[in-house]
Amino acid sequence: MNAEIIAVGSELLLGQIVNTNAKFLSISLAEMGVNVFHHTVVGDNPQRLKKSIEIAEQRADLIIFTGGLGPTKDDLTKETIANHLGRRLVTDEAALNSIEAYFLKVNRQMTENNKKQALVLEGATVLPNEFGMAPGMFIHNQNHYYMLLPGPPFEMEPMFTKYGRRAILAKMDKREHIESRVLRFFGIGEAQLETEIESIIEGQSNPTVAPYASDGECTLRITAKHQSSEEALRMIDETERIIQERVGEFCYGYNETTLMMETVKKLKRSGLTIACAESLTAGMFAAEMASISGVSNILKGGVVCYSSEAKEKLVKVKKETLDKYGAVSKECAAELAENIRTILDTDIGISFTGVAGPDSLEGKEAGTIWIGIAVKNQPVKTFLLSLASNRNSNRLRTVKYGCHYLMRELESTSNKS
């Protein structure tokens, strides 16, 4: 099956936003074994959209549209497709009910144009929108399949993953299975990773191994094709085994996981509680941990000690420490981690203090960062980072290093016991 992705929206053509939806869908479709040969972006203009559909029909079996399902007058994807396919738009009662329920819940007034969002193509399978109001649609018409998805990624992505993907797979003639697995690495650069496994990348065409780097992390995607899904997975296992032998110490997880998700898993498994003292990161570590549901048994809390005053008042850092060594110091990081652990009576205390940049501080260069980790009944440890990116990238990477060192500590602690 060949697919084309058509993103509808003048905001894309004006450069107001980037077409991240095409990236997300392309990755998903590749995993499903669907070839994507074209991405198209067209504005909120019915004539040009209609022409783009006609062109796509010449070269694709499946056309996926994103955007233009909103309540306003310039949202006209489904109207244009209805017109093109000669189908009516009918109200979907389930969608209308969920829109009405949404407005009741948020206690806002529903306007007449919101009802437009409950209109769907006659004969279409409706794809529920669990994070917004516009339902998605999937329809078969003559030789083509058409899927309509909303534009906002936080609505589109879960809709496609939960409903869209399955609807397409059900129509595919599955003679060949494509399986893939992403290995995630931290603490090793992309070039070094590639050098270590060069012979594996070059020597194989099935499975293939594709490296990719972003935000201080690297991934390797292993993809195998076989008539039997089990055999494809076995081929992936075998390639992974060789990779892990060479660079396994840097591999922290699979697929869509994150360093923080793995850290929380490890803490849960060990039944340990944690508290944070964050100067440089100013709450980012705790906030990311709290983004994971069910973390309240683990994370007791912490402090954002952005000023010296907050370090002294909230975390009882000694004035002498700050005067003698400064806030960006091994000594301050150690006191912060140990003190917050004691104050909130947790098993672990973690601290972050450093110079985010762009300016230097206390004579220390931007990117100089100390992380402190205090584990109950053990001497506190500190780690020095020298990062070279911009302010916010430095802060984000510091949180990742915090997870990285914390996981290593948890491993060595559990190995000892």
Binding residues among 339-398 for a copy of itself as defined by CB under 8 A: 343-345, 356-358, 367, 386-393, 395
For a copy of itself, the binding residue among 142, 143, 195, 417 (CB under 8 A) is 195
Tell me which residues in 320-339 interact with a copy of itself (CB under 8 A).
Answer: none
User: Considering the complex, what minimum distance in angstroms separates the CB of residue 173 from a copy of itself?
Assistant: 22
| CA-to-CA separations, 319 to 152, 307, 316, 331, in angstroms, rounded | 49, 13, 9, 12
Q: Which is nearer to a copy of itself, 127 or 218 (CB)?
A: 218
Q: Are strands 144-149 and 125-127 parallel, antiparallel or unpaired?
A: unpaired
Distance CA 358, CA 352 (A): 18
Which one of 81-89, 119-127, 211-219, 245-253 is the stretch in contact with a copy of itself (CB under 8 A)? Answer: 211-219
Q: Which of 289, 302, 310 is nearest to 372 (CA)?
A: 302
For a copy of itself, the binding residue among 102, 126, 247, 325 (CB under 8 A) is 102
Q: Which is nearer to a copy of itself, 80 or 114 (CB)?
A: 114
Is residue 291 a contact residue for a copy of itself (CB under 8 A)?
yes
Tell me which residues in 3-62 interact with a copy of itself (CB under 8 A).
Answer: 10-20, 22-28, 30, 36-45, 48, 51-52, 55, 59
User: Considering the complex, what minimum distance in angstroms separates the CB of residue 382 from a copy of itself?
Assistant: 17
Q: Which is nearer to a copy of itself, 83 or 389 (CB)?
A: 389
Q: Which is nearer to a copy of itself, 121 or 314 (CB)?
A: 314
For the sheet with 177-186, list strands across it.
208-214, 217-226, 177-186, 251-254
Record the tokens describing residue 177, joined without a space. 């299975």
Distance CA 227, CA 178 (A): 9
Q: Which is nearer to a copy of itself, 76 or 139 (CB)?
A: 76
- Binding-residue total with a copy of itself (CB under 8 A): 116
Is residue 314 a contact residue for a copy of itself (CB under 8 A)?
yes
Tell me which residues in 163-192 interact with a copy of itself (CB under 8 A).
Answer: 180, 182, 189-192
For a copy of itself, the binding residue among 57, 61, 79, 194 (CB under 8 A) is 194
The owner of tokens 């973390």 is 295
Record the tokens describing residue 7, joined without a space. 């993103």
Q: Provide the β-strand partners of residue 368.
A: 386
HSE of 93, CA atoms in CB hemisphere, 13 A: 0
Cβ proximity of 340 and 303 under 8 Å: yes
Tell me which residues in 105-164 interact with a copy of itself (CB under 8 A).
Answer: 105-109, 111-114, 130-131, 152, 154
Tell me which residues in 226-265 interact with a copy of itself (CB under 8 A).
Answer: none
What sign does the dihedral 268-273-278-284 (CA atoms) show? Answer: positive
User: Considering the complex, what minimum distance in angstroms separates the CB of residue 301 from a copy of itself?
Assistant: 3
Distance CA 156, CA 128 (A): 10
User: Considering the complex, what minimum distance in angstroms separates the CB of residue 105 from a copy of itself?
Assistant: 5
User: Considering the complex, what minimum distance in angstroms separates the CB of residue 257 from a copy of itself?
Assistant: 14
User: Considering the complex, what minimum distance in angstroms separates the CB of residue 123 from a copy of itself?
Assistant: 27
Please report the DSSP string for 183-249 in residue order. Answer: EEEESS-HHHHHHHTHHHHHH-SSSEEEEEEETTEEEEEEEEEESSHHHHHHHHHHHHHHHHHHHGG
